[in-house]
Structure 1
Amino acid sequence: MEGNEILRGKMAEAGFTQTELAEAVNADLRSAGYEGTVSDRTVRTWLTGKSRWPHRRQRAALEAVFQRPITELGFTPRQEPATARIVPSEDPVLRRRFISASTGIALTAAAGAPAHAAARRVGMSDVERLQSKFAVLVASDHRYGGKLTIETQASALAGEALALQARGTVSQRVRGALYGCAASFTSSAMWAATDGRRFDSAQRHFHRAASLAAMSGDPTIQFRIWSHAGSLYRHMARPADALAANDVARNLPITRRDPLFASLGHARHAAILGLTGDSRAVRQVLGHAQRALEQSHPGEQRPLWLNAFYDQAELDNLALAACLALGNYEDAEARAHRSLSLLRPDMLRTRAITTARLAHAQLGQGDLEPAVTTAMSIPTDPAGQHPRVAGLLGGFGSTLRIAAPASSAARTWDQYTHDSRRNTP
């Protein structure tokens, strides 16, 4: 029996292991109200060809995960008797209605449910349960970042938050908290898509997250979403849109109440301004960011997502991005070294990105051998496979070959990349 090489290729393209694909399919099943029963053994039967036409719900979940029809994933329908009724596959968009729909659709679903389904009282303990799942997702993002599995799981969590409103009775306070959770989870999906260079998907998440945040009434969530939008447009090389989106975040009242929010807004603004070539504005805004950070109080209660990543190390990392964009390589190197010395041990993705930027800063100053040594210090798996890291290292090699094509550093780097590709499974 032939295996499903198309599915294997799509998994490799998305960065899925068998276990990760099983988790992503289960997340989509749960977001649609079903039990997630897919295991890595199930995925193995798909890959070997033992199962050539999964169950109807699994087919719909696979379509939602990969965003393509099931027949484009290497699956073939079983031959049915001519008189058999054809049951259409569920529309993955309809399955994920709680992720992408507005309040009206969610409430309609609740109205159509049996009377006993609405009897359950949803409280803050349910919100806390969702937030504990979110904490696991945030930790995974900091280790690996950008993976389609993280994007899918975050979207599924948003679906859980909205599904709770449709399946139980909630107070106004809990309803706002659930909308806040859904907005925050969708914002995480948006960031994972941005980090993985899936910009079309990121923009779709942004529009959903913005409307959910408005319904939550939570200014911290609104800040996060608009700040993420600024980062999205910065990575798309659209500085005008990035500045406009980040200004929405910077002008929210939360930045006047909490200097840590203000600091993050300024730091991200500096990174965007680097693309415009305005070195004076970059210096000014970085000064605002540093002063605000020094005025913030670490003991204050803040959202998990902010406490999990923003500190002096991240400020220096954003300053590093701005300095590189300006061609200020000496300051960029100084910022990179300080960021790396302060980074928390779990920030593996950020460490790899910062190290790749450090290599660019050293190369920009003509320090070829140190630059190559720095670039080669990044682990090839999984950090080196991250889309942003791979892009930075690809640009590093191109710049090196243009600047010093006959140098020993260029030969060392070419040999290293050749060996790395050969040893990548």
Structure 2
Amino acid sequence: MDQQNNAVLQGLLRTFGFTHESLAVEVNRISDRIYGRPGQCTDREVRRWISGAVRWPTGRYLLPLTEIFERPPEAMGFVPRGKSSRLPVPPPRPPADREEETPVKRRAFLIASTATSVALALSIDDTPVRGRLSLADVDRITTTIGRLDTHFDAIGGGALLTVTTAYLTRLRDAVDGCTYGPRVEQGLHAAVSALYSAAGWAAHDADELDQARLHHAAALQSAILAGDKLGQARAWSDLAMQSRLEGRHREALQINRAALESRQARQDPRIAALLHSRLAIGNARAGDRPAAARSLLAAEAAHDKFASAAPAPPWLQFLDAAEISGLAAIAHQAMGRLPDAELATAQTLQLLPPAMRRNRVYYGVQLAELQLAQGDTERARTTAAAVDTTAVSNRRIADRLAAVQHTLTA
């Protein structure tokens, strides 16, 4: 049979930010944990997987790969060859380890392990903190932050809080310790703003709301320093959402309305759709149903213009028809229109792409909550049982799921 490149695996390396060398290092690290001795994977071995010269890796490397990319071998583009191509069973751990491994300890380990893996994959330590920076350095930093946003959509922000704050420290050191021209300075402040926004959402998922507010405020400050109108619109939108989460609904409405007056909101339909959707939720919680309905219609009208707009930046790629439907569901719920909210949430889950695991968990819990609120305990039980939070680090949504399960058992 002719040799065929494994385009799926090559795409996963690009999505997760791995080079051939860094993937080999990570495979060896996980192999050491699973088998108790370091692996011997090299960048040459990774190239053989991608070229198709090796269509089914040995078990020693296959288990680490399934853990790194969180999917079975076939979903990584590998092709089984008969009964010998089976996913091996991990060797048993010592009894003492099993006795000490409580769910809380295991979750903490997984979060720490994921954070370490992401930090290695993104190579955040490669960003220089001394010497002269060029626009090419700014491009690399911006690309790294975009990859971090992709990880957020896949696994949630709770596991990424330490990564984002560590990278923030490094970027601030670069701003203070390097030399550069005016255009590079502007790009650096824009990158720092984007990273502060990512850190704010990571803190949100970790249920650290005070920290989240500080990060969102810092994102706005850095965007102003950069003269970055898109970054400012993003920061205002996040601050409005933050105020709503803290129960300051009037403040959230004021921020949202001010953001909608910006030139960026008038020119970019994606920003407009996001702001109108969040304004609908704010109006609904303030008891202004007509205003909420007008905002929902405005969000849908903005969505209709997506096809003619410029490509979305990485942080806005989550905003699609599924997300707009999900935000509409939250507005309907706030207005007490539970059947409409349930229908919109179910539609969101149908539209969500597989890679958006964080949002799938979020809206899965929301659907169970809506079904429970309407007294449909059997469907709520089925929905809640189908929600898998193990691969997504979001303390707030995990607590909401626990509350649903507690009510069902009670």
Verify: 1:392 aligned to 2:400, yes or no.
Answer: yes
Asked if 2 retains the 8 angstrom alpha-carbon contact of 1:187 and 1:225, the reply is yes
Which residue is 2:286 aligned to?
276
Verify: 1:196 aligned to 2:219, yes or no.
Answer: no
> How far apart are 1:249 and its partner, in Å?
2.3
Verify: 1:236 aligned to 2:246, yes or no.
Answer: yes
Distance 2:346 2:117 in 1: 37
For these two proteins, the number of residue pairs brought into alignment is: 313
Cα separation, partners in 2 of 1:218 and 1:18, compared to 1, 3 Å? closer
Asked if 2 retains the 8 angstrom alpha-carbon contact of 1:146 and 1:387, the reply is no
Quote the RMSD (CA, aligned, Å). Answer: 3.3
Distance 1:283 1:15 in 2: 45
Cα separation, partners in 2 of 1:236 and 1:328, compared to 1, 3 Å? same
Asked if 2 retains the 8 angstrom alpha-carbon contact of 1:158 and 1:183, the reply is no
Which residue is 1:296 aligned to?
306
> How far apart are 1:320 and its partner, in Å?
1.1
Of residues 225, 230, 255, the one that matches 1:215 is 225
Which residue is 2:147 aligned to?
136
> How far apart are 1:142 and its partner, in Å?
0.8
Asked if 2 retains the 8 angstrom alpha-carbon contact of 1:262 and 1:292, the reply is yes
Aligned residue runs from structure 1 range 297-376, under 5 A: 297=307, 300-306=310-316, 308-376=317-385
- Partner SS, residue 243 of structure 1: helix
Which residue is 2:274 aligned to?
264
> How far apart are 1:17 and its partner, in Å?
4.5
Which residue is 1:124 aligned to?
135
Cα separation, partners in 2 of 1:9 and 1:396, compared to 1, 3 Å? closer
Query: Aligned partner of 2:253: which letter?
Result: L
Distance 2:251 2:174 in 1: 35
> How far apart are 1:218 and its partner, in Å?
0.5
Query: Aligned partner of 2:252: which letter?
Result: A
Which residue is 2:255 aligned to?
245
Cα separation, partners in 2 of 1:15 and 1:201, compared to 1, 3 Å? farther
- Partner SS, residue 179 of structure 2: coil
Cα separation, partners in 2 of 1:191 and 1:22, compared to 1, 3 Å? closer
Q: Deviations over 1:136-189 (max 9, x none)?
A: 211211122131x41222233333434333343322122111100001101110
Name the % identity.
Answer: 29
| TM-score, length-scaled by structure 1 | 0.66
Asked if 2 retains the 8 angstrom alpha-carbon contact of 1:142 and 1:349, the reply is yes
Asked if 2 retains the 8 angstrom alpha-carbon contact of 1:154 and 1:189, the reply is yes
Distance 1:315 1:363 in 2: 23
Distance 2:281 2:350 in 1: 20
> How far apart are 1:279 and its partner, in Å?
2.3
Unaligned runs of 5+ in 1: 35-97, 99-116, 402-409, 415-425
Asked if 1 retains the 8 angstrom alpha-carbon contact of 2:345 and 2:367, the reply is yes
Unaligned runs of 5+ in 2: 1-96
- Partner SS, residue 307 of structure 2: coil
| TM-score, length-scaled by structure 2 | 0.68
Query: Aligned partner of 1:325: which letter?
Result: A
Query: Aligned partner of 1:304: which letter?
Result: P
Aligned residue runs from structure 1 range 66-77, under 5 A: none
Aligned residue runs from structure 1 range 144-183, under 5 A: 144-147=155-158, 149-183=159-193
> How far apart are 1:26 and its partner, in Å?
8.5
Distance 2:106 2:210 in 1: 20
Q: Deviations over 1:229-263 (max 9, x none)?
A: 11112222221222223233222210111122111
Query: Aligned partner of 1:143: which letter?
Result: A
Cα separation, partners in 2 of 1:17 and 1:150, compared to 1, 3 Å? closer
Asked if 1 retains the 8 angstrom alpha-carbon contact of 2:135 and 2:184, the reply is yes
> How far apart are 1:225 and its partner, in Å?
1.0
Asked if 2 retains the 8 angstrom alpha-carbon contact of 1:274 and 1:322, the reply is yes
Cα separation, partners in 2 of 1:132 and 1:373, compared to 1, 3 Å? same
